[in-house]
Structure 1
Amino acid sequence: MADIATRVHNHKWKIDPIVRSLIDTDFYKLLMCQSVFRNRPETQVEFSLINRSKTIRLAELIDEGELREQLDHVRSLRLARGESTWLRGNMFYGKRQMFRPDFMEWFEGLRLPAYHLEKHDGQYELTFEGSWPEVMLWEIPALSILMELRSRAVLRDMGRFELQVLYARAMTRLWEKIESLRTIPGLKIADFGTRRRHGFLWQDWCVQAMMEGLGSAFTGTSNCLIAMRRDIEAIGTNAHELPMIYAALADSDAELRQAPYRVLADWQEEHDGNLRIILPDTYGTEGFLAGAPDWLAGWTGIRIDSGDPATGAETAIRWWQSRGEDPREKLVIFSDGLDVAEIHALHARFVGRVKVSFGWGTLLTNDFRGLVAGDALAPFSLVCKAVAADGRPTVKLSDNPEKAMGPADQIARYKRVFGVGAQAHREVIV
């Protein structure tokens, strides 16, 4: 196991680029990329970095030259032979050859497209433009780079012993969380922490700790590179990106209203079983479920990723019941800003009523709260989102208005089309 403190102390080593591989990314990005490659390969998109935590002035913390060096390194990466073999031959979700030969040939030849970087009012404006299958693969590396460069900036002046104590405290904190989670009977939990991790080495350590501490209750990791190296399950389905872009391409209100369902109709052609998970909150969960076609009620489950998680799960249970489905046979995956106390509470409330699972993200792989002066390593809310498709702006409403994004006039239009009324505000931790 790596001596993380020593490696961080010598973080200029070339052995430690922030992003080490094109598969140092979330599994759902590759699943979505294949779907986009098949269904919308010519769509031109723009992705942009969005720092929701305005008090974290990234352009004042992170050296521009160092940022460019890390971004340029990602552009030099190609899929390695062993990585290609793993993607082509490994079993994912019980299925071999999850990735089709034509997609793999394209991916094996891919280099990520150019980026555009500027500074404005203490923040970095980082954007990527081009064809959707290429540009979408920048999202996770971009977030990983900014998050880890912020960590490095805070840790830069610490000595080796100070770093050893810091990581010992963080390790102790995580192990205490794992010991608490051990007491939950029938727990199923996965690592979803790539995008806002403290660093690659730390995420890898967290995964190994979960493997040892939780055994079969730990179901896998969203990170493809770690899944390959540690011989565990790669976990992930789909994300808000798909309905956001399909919706932006709609030519009328009627087409807009149907866009989220068209996404899942395309998805259903490729995937079954535990990959048929609905993410209903892009334009409001209640409206999405009310207008959903009957075939969606037969899907395996739902992921709750914004708003009050208990309310979202209760809404899903009522919907399944209204469609003649038994909620006890359905899977609910909670994945929004979770930590141990909420995992305990949600499991206790819903166990036996649905099949309960958790995707544990930032507060697994980046919980250094209170461990350095000024709480300078506290996690913050950084995203990289599709902001335009074929020149049209994208919109996300969410079940939490604090996560909404898009031009104000388009947000108003989408709320009208999708029948979104008053929403409860919920603090965005990550």
Structure 2
Amino acid sequence: MLENRLPPIISSLLENDMYKFSMGQAIYHQFSDYKTTWTFKCRNKEVFFTPEMVEEIKAQIMLYCSLRFTEEELDYLHKIRWIKGSYVDFLRLWSPRYEDFTITNDGDCGLSIETKGTWLNTSMYEIPTLAIINEVYFRYQYDYDDLLKSFEDKLDEKIGWLTGGKYQISSFSEFGLRRRLSAEAQAMVVKKFKEADLKDSFFAGTSNVYLAKQFNVAPIGTMAHEWIMCVGQGNHKHNPAYSNWFALEAWVKEYGVLNGTCLTDTITTDCFLRDFQLTYATLFSGARHDSGDPFVWGDKMLAHYNRLGIDARNKTLLFSDNLDFKRANDLYHYFKSKAKVAFGIGTYLSNDTKVEPLNIVMKTTACNGMDVAKISDVKGKEMCKNPDYVKYLQRCIAWRMNNDR
């Protein structure tokens, strides 16, 4: 057993983003035999993980792998209206496997992590792993108490901006688990926003299911890029330019009209809209923005709804890309009369201190032995081990956009 210097960073298997459970249920019912590979990447150029940090990360992941769901936690999940008893029964038996992880001190940043195994398992590892990496780094690299003080000062200032009416952002949720300063800091965010009188803004909940349960707020989350990548590209018979159709079809099969916020930019929003026709646009309650100019994206979604004869004022535009309150305020006032507007705000709420936050990701890089990729609506957010596969995917998309009318 590896020795950890820090207390356990992940204290419950509920400490994961809600969309992992939403996707997990659909994976369990429809894609339980799929196998995936996930790869860690640090986008910060000057960040280095020391051997001591790597050993702590290993020890923390081993502690995470020793956790099991409690009956109280399973009862909580079962009360979420779209979570089914069959999936809860599966989770009663489920546990993370340390054997699925390969962790070394290789690579430019001094840390290499890859997970391989069933999609059911590896999907659940992404968020806890990133939370562990993030907290280990900041506790080892800096004076943590000093960082936490600067974090709380900035948080109180942000709350003051909403309570004082400087910004109006309507409905927003905290989405910062993967890059939070610490478990303590994220809990502080949820507690303070829940208790604050925000006037013209509304704290809707958090993506962290553990904190949603602890503070009695809504757990927020539907699907991530992995859903479109694996469902659409993991079957070797599929043309990857139609990834969104396969993903939307499987989601509706699982949830019908429930849990319906779709993600548009996995292989570009323009390609997504080819499949987001009347049936899906009617069934899904809204769409989430995660890359590219949010104003351009929002106008594009409004125009698409209009072409389909759908009143966009009944649909939600959920913005979740690199937001702060100023940007959210501007987006809200631009779109508020045209659609329902909501925000998922991550690092700005969960890791805003006197030092630069980490920009770390862990992405699916293979499914069923086949490369998968996210293209996105902007350069810099894509990730794939095989450049030739990216070129192939881009050619498929280009052919479809030019020929499939």
TM over 0.5: yes
Matched residue, 2:333: 348
Aligned to 2:142: 155
Structure 2 residue corresponding to 1:40, chosen from 31, 36, 43: 31
- Post-superposition offset of 1:12: 4.6
Give 1:411 deviation, angstroms.
Answer: 1.1
Q: Counterpart in 2 of 1:170?
A: 151
| Alignment coverage as a number of residue pairs | 388
Other-structure match for 1:260:
244
- CA offset digits 1:231-268 (Å, max 9, x no partner): 1111111110011112332435x632222111111111
Cα deviation for residue 416 of structure 1 reads 1.8
Separation of aligned partners in 1, 2:209 and 2:276: 32
Q: CA deviation at 1:289?
A: 0.6
Contact 1:19 1:141 in 2 (8 A): yes
% identical equivalent positions: 27
- Whether 1:290 and 2:274 are equivalent positions in the alignment is yes
Do the aligned partners of residues 44 and 79 (structure 1) sit closer, same or farther apart at CA in structure 2, a change above 3 Å counting? same
Partner Cα separation in structure 2 for residue 316 and residue 62 of structure 1: 48
Is the contact between residue 35 and residue 368 of structure 2 (CA under 8 Å) also seen in structure 1? yes
Alpha-carbon distance in 2 for matches of 1:145, 1:34: 24
Residues 93-114 of structure 1 deviation map (CA, whole Å, 9 limit, x = unaligned): xx2xx32222112211112122
1:189 to 164, 172, 179: 172
Letter in 1 for 2:12: S
Quote how far apart the aligned CAs of 1:61 are: 7.2
Partner of 1:129: 116
Confirm whether residue 67 of structure 1 aligns to residue 72 of structure 2.
no
Note if contact 2:169-2:325 (Cα within 8 Å) is conserved in structure 1.
Answer: no
Query: Quick one: which amino acid aligns to residue 19 of structure 2?
Result: Y
Mean alpha-carbon deviation: is it higher for 181-190 or for 328-337? 181-190
Q: Counterparts of 1:360 and 1:61 in 2: how far apart (Å)?
A: 32
* TM-score using structure 2 length: 0.91
Change (3 A) 1:335 1:186: closer
SS of equivalent residue, structure 1 residue 385: strand
Find the partner of 1:246 among 196, 211, 231: 231
Q: Which amino acid aligns with 1:172?
A: D
- Secondary structure of the residue aligned to 1:147 is helix
**What SS does structure 2 have at the residue aligned with 1:63?**
helix
Structure 1 match to 2:105 = 119
Amino acid in structure 2 at the alignment position of 1:71: I
Provide the residue aligned with 2:126 in structure 1.
139
SS of the equivalent of 2:116 reads: strand
| Structure 1 runs of 4+ with >6 Å offset | none
Q: Find the counterpart in structure 2 of residue 227 from structure 1.
A: 212
From 82, 90, 102, give the equivalent of 2:72: 82
Pick one of 377, 388, 391 that aligns with 1:409.
388
CA distance in 1 between partners of 2:262 and 2:54 (Å): 39
Question: 1:388 maps to which residue?
Answer: 366
CA contact (8 A) 2:239 2:396 kept: no
What CA deviation, in whole Å up to 9, does each residue of 1:252-288 have, x standing for no partner? 5x63222211111111123255621120100000121
Q: CA deviation at 1:420?
A: 9.1
Q: Output one character per residue of 1:101-155: Cα deviation in whole Å (capped at 9) or x when no partner.
A: 2211221111212211122234311111111101111001100000000111123
The residue aligned with 2:403 is: none
Using the TM superposition, name which of 289-298 and 205-214 deviates more. Answer: 289-298
| 1:250–1:256 contact (8 Å) kept in structure 2 | no
- Deviation track 1:270-312 (CA, whole Å, cap 9, x = no partner) reads 3255621120100000121134332122121110011111111
Q: Any idea what the Cα deviations from partners look like across 1:167-209, whole Å, max 9, x if unmatched? A: 3332221122122234245710111111111111110001111
Instruction: Indicate yes or no: 2:196 matched with 1:218.
Output: no
Q: Partners of 1:420 and 1:400 in 2: how far apart? A: 20
1:195 is paired with a residue whose SS is helix
In structure 1, stretches of 5+ residues that fail to align are 1-10, 422-430
Give the distance between the partners of 1:231 and 1:292, measured in 2 at CA: 34
Whole-Å separation in 2 of the counterparts to 1:359 and 1:146? 22
